[in-house]
Amino acid sequence: MFNKFLKGKHNVIVNEFLLTYSNKDKYFIRTKPWDWLSKKEIYVMSKIDGKPTMITMDFWAQEIFLDADGQITVSEMINVACNQYLKSKTPIPEKLDFVLIQELEHMITQLKIIEFRDQITQLPQNINLPISQQAGT
């Protein structure tokens, strides 16, 4: 009976870096306002060295930022990314977990636009919605 479940190609996701990552069970949340720059690209309003800055990002950084809603853990985010590859029948890049975690760490420690939390956290309205969709703008 179980043979039909065992037939076919199996995809095993091994995220070696994630397994030992100390913050894998932390939730992450964006902390700066953002908006759409174009139909596919966002920007984040921040300050770097005390100067107002408009930050744009490459694909994965943008995905991480938009996923930073305080509702998923780092492990869950990595699994979502891996599943996107599996659904599109594209091989998962080697060390995808390492690349994504390094990008997340950069946004936390260098850009300071995301923070870790120990529990699920709701985004404030001014961070949740794009600037252009907020009341009064």
Whether 30 shows a pLDDT value over 70: the answer reads: yes
Q: What's the pTM value of the predicted model, to 2 decimals?
A: 0.85
**62 in a domain, yes or no?**
yes
Question: What contacts 100, CB < 8 A, 6 or more positions away?
Answer: 60, 64, 77, 78, 81
Reference 23, options 103, 118, 112; nearest CA is 118
Tokens for 55? 């930050």
pLDDT, tens digit (0-9, with 9 covering 90-100), for 35-60: 999 999 999 999 888 899 999 999 99
User: Does 51 map to a domain?
Assistant: yes
At 113, which CATH number?
Answer: 3.90.930
- Full domain range(s) for residue 121: 24-130
Percent of the chain with pLDDT over 90: 73
Residue 122: which residues within 8 A CB-CB, separation 6 or more? 70
